[in-house]
Structure 1
Amino acid sequence: MRSAILTTALCALLATLPGTPAQAVMRPGTSAATRPDTLAQVATLPGTIALPNGFRPEGIAIGGRPVAYLGSLANGDIYRADLRTGQGAVVSKGPGTPSVGLKLDSRNRLFVSGGTAGNARVIDVRTGAVLKSYPLATGASFVNDVVLTRDAAWFTDSTNPVLYKLPLGRHGTLPDQAVSVPLTGAIQYTTGNNANGIAPTPDRKSLLIVQSNVGKLFKADPATGVTTEVNLGGESLVNGDGLLLNGRTLYVVQNRLNTVTVIRLTADGSSGQVVNRLTDPRFDVPSTVASFGNRLYLPNARFTTTPAPDTTYTVNAITAPRDH
């Protein structure tokens, strides 16, 4: 109880400091032993983390501990990076096909989008073992990103207008097979990279999907797949990739623009206002974003650089702006 009172008091104090995120002290699911108790502790973490040459990162997932998991487009390897030291190692060998979007749950399970393989897999990050693998699509497909809700994992497909759902049972039990939910309504697939990043709406009743090639954000009904366009007042999210929701703030990574667009959403996600655009000279086509403390972590996918075995890759941290 005393610890809870002190944490609450510290949160209240930080909320009164200019430019300090009120929620930077503790993220849901963190343990007392590993959470960043002060902004000063977070500030000591490395600002740039080097990945193995030739790794080709795309997705990143961070849970309650100062550890990031990254997936390789080259061969599907999963790399574990310590945010405190910058050191890391491959913890799960890939199947030779891409690992794209990633999400980590509270049971140490990593949900992995399989890209051109048209599948998804679930990995135990403690052992590196594949718990289950799911064929999602036949024919041309690109299973791109994944989001976890209270009762399901949802995957986008940038080639086919469909969401793939893994319904989670009691205590998070994995299903035997996935369910396909066709996307209808406002979203219209066309040439190029269509549905990409996915996140929940602030009220957790619907899903948000960014369509990269047309630069629009859509709200999808998870029960029916019917979509409506989110009103952003004419703002473009072209090259929109990974999404991260924090409260009612949505971070949208616009990869080839080397920009993170910050949007303040209504509770139901039907409309939003662009309140900031973040960039950094270290950005080299960042693909997505995850957070720890008051920092945003973005892997440089370097899509404009021809990949080779000696190509260098990094993850860069920037300070999240104060919530609007």
Structure 2
Amino acid sequence: MRMRVKPRRSLFLRLLLVPALAVAAWAPAAAAVAQDNVIVLPGATSAEGIAAGPGGTFYAGDLFGGDIFRGDARRGTAERFIDAPDGRMAVGMVADHRHGLLFVAGGFTGQAYVYDLRSGVEVATYQLAAPDAGLINDAALGRDGVWFTNSGRAELYFVPIGHKGRLGPARTLTVTGPAADTSGEVNLNGIQVAGRTPIVAHTGLGRLYTVDPATGASTPIAGVDVPSPDGLVLSGDRLWVVNSTSQVSRFRLSHDLSGGVLEKTITSPLFDFPTTAALIDRHRLAVVNGHLGTIPPTSPTYEVIVVEP
């Protein structure tokens, strides 16, 4: 098992831990324990992000090592797929099946990485922000490109995908309005895209917002307040919100994205600081166990927990 020392590792863990402790006593109004399936990421020293691949395939990252694992939710197996160079991180990620690309947020490096889904070969590296200028935290696929969040700055970044998967230069969108609040330890975090509209989770405020992709203006989504929201999953009008209180909340959104209603709270005795999730085969939710409740994390394994959505 490889061990790597990453810059500001202890700070990153502290930033993640603070909002979790602040809401540890929060209890959901209703909970449902689903049937669970545990898929270990062999040799991982940490974990955070996940992306759905074709069929039952998923991709998950070693947070502080930057490596990428490829798993099969149907078989319950996973293996190291990409051995990343030293100095990288792997936070949130998303797969573009149409063009065969995997986009990975690079955390404190300020970077984003693009890999070939089949071979694991690096396609591109983007320097979205200066190193340690915030935290490139999550990624989401839109109609014509990929959006990234920065947890330390009120900024989103967009990487366009053109004809035959050709990648264009990244551009920065400054977020304004309530989602632009950067007073918390962790701010903009999880992201999904509905049509052309980004939906972002604000961990410090415990709220979700839509962001105008042209102007950056943000608007709260009524009724979807969740303590310490992290990763998001969107399918049609259903939105799953992962938070470190060891649960996933499922909402049904209105057509205009102005509000949402809580449909279900998913819990599992196997959850340990869940960070984000991906919808596999359209009927199973694969949730990453970050084990970030201690500093440093001391779990002997890092795994994906598959539950009913």
Are the equivalent residues in 2 in contact too, given 1:53–1:311 (CA < 8 A)?
no
5+ long unaligned stretches in structure 2: 1-34
Q: CA deviation at 1:125?
A: 2.5
Which residue of 1 is the match for residue 20 of structure 2?
A: none
* RCO comparison, higher one (Cα < 8 Å, 6+): 2
Is 1:246–2:235 an aligned residue pair?
A: yes
Q: CA deviation at 1:46?
A: 7.9
Is 1:303–2:285 an aligned residue pair?
A: no
Are the equivalent residues in 2 in contact too, given 1:46–1:83 (CA < 8 A)?
no
Is 1:165–2:165 an aligned residue pair?
A: no
Which residue of 1 is the match for residue 185 of structure 2?
A: 192
Structure 2 counterpart SS, 1:100: coil
Which aligned pairs between 1:64-83 and structure 2 lie closer than 5 A?
64-83=54-73
| Pair 305,53 (structure 1): closer, same or farther in 2 beyond 3 Å | farther
The structure having more radius of gyration, on CA atoms, is: 1
Which residue of 2 is the match for residue 29 of structure 1?
A: none
Which aligned pairs between 1:1-324 and structure 2 lie closer than 5 A?
47-95=37-85, 96-106=87-97, 107-138=99-130, 139-175=132-168, 177-187=169-179, 188-201=181-194, 204-232=195-223, 236-255=225-244, 257-293=245-281, 294-307=283-296, 311-320=300-309
One-letter identity of the residue aligned with 1:290: A
Are the equivalent residues in 1 in contact too, given 2:273–2:290 (CA < 8 A)?
yes
| Pair 79,309 (structure 1): closer, same or farther in 2 beyond 3 Å | farther
Q: CA deviation at 1:89?
A: 1.9
Q: CA deviation at 1:274?
A: 1.5
Taking every aligned residue pair, what percent have the same amino acid on both sides? 36
Count of residue correspondences: 271
Q: Which moved more, 1:48-57 or 1:138-147?
A: 48-57
Structure 2 counterpart SS, 1:68: strand
Q: CA deviation at 1:157?
A: 0.2
Q: CA deviation at 1:213?
A: 1.1
1-structure distance, mates of 2:38, 2:210: 34
2-structure distance, mates of 1:308, 1:259: 19
2-structure distance, mates of 1:134, 1:205: 22
TM-score using structure 2 length:
0.83
1-structure distance, mates of 2:64, 2:143: 31
CA RMSD of aligned residues (A): 1.9
TM-score using structure 1 length:
0.79
Q: Which moved more, 1:57-66 or 1:213-222?
A: 57-66
Q: Which moved more, 1:147-156 or 1:90-99?
A: 90-99
Structure 2 counterpart SS, 1:242: strand
2-structure distance, mates of 1:65, 1:274: 28
Q: Deviations over 1:36-80 (max 9, x none)?
A: xxxxxxxxx981111224431111111222111111112100011
Are the equivalent residues in 2 in contact too, given 1:264–1:275 (CA < 8 A)?
yes
Are the equivalent residues in 1 in contact too, given 2:149–2:188 (CA < 8 A)?
yes
Q: CA deviation at 1:318?
A: 0.7
Q: Deviations over 1:110-166 (max 9, x none)?
A: 000000110101001222111000000015220000001111110000001000010
2-structure distance, mates of 1:318, 1:128: 27
Are the equivalent residues in 2 in contact too, given 1:113–1:155 (CA < 8 A)?
yes
Are the equivalent residues in 2 in contact too, given 1:72–1:99 (CA < 8 A)?
yes
| Pair 244,308 (structure 1): closer, same or farther in 2 beyond 3 Å | closer
5+ long unaligned stretches in structure 1: 1-44
Q: CA deviation at 1:247?
A: 1.1
Structure 2 counterpart SS, 1:57: coil
Which residue of 2 is the match for residue 5 of structure 1?
A: none
One-letter identity of the residue aligned with 1:109: L
2-structure distance, mates of 1:94, 1:168: 23
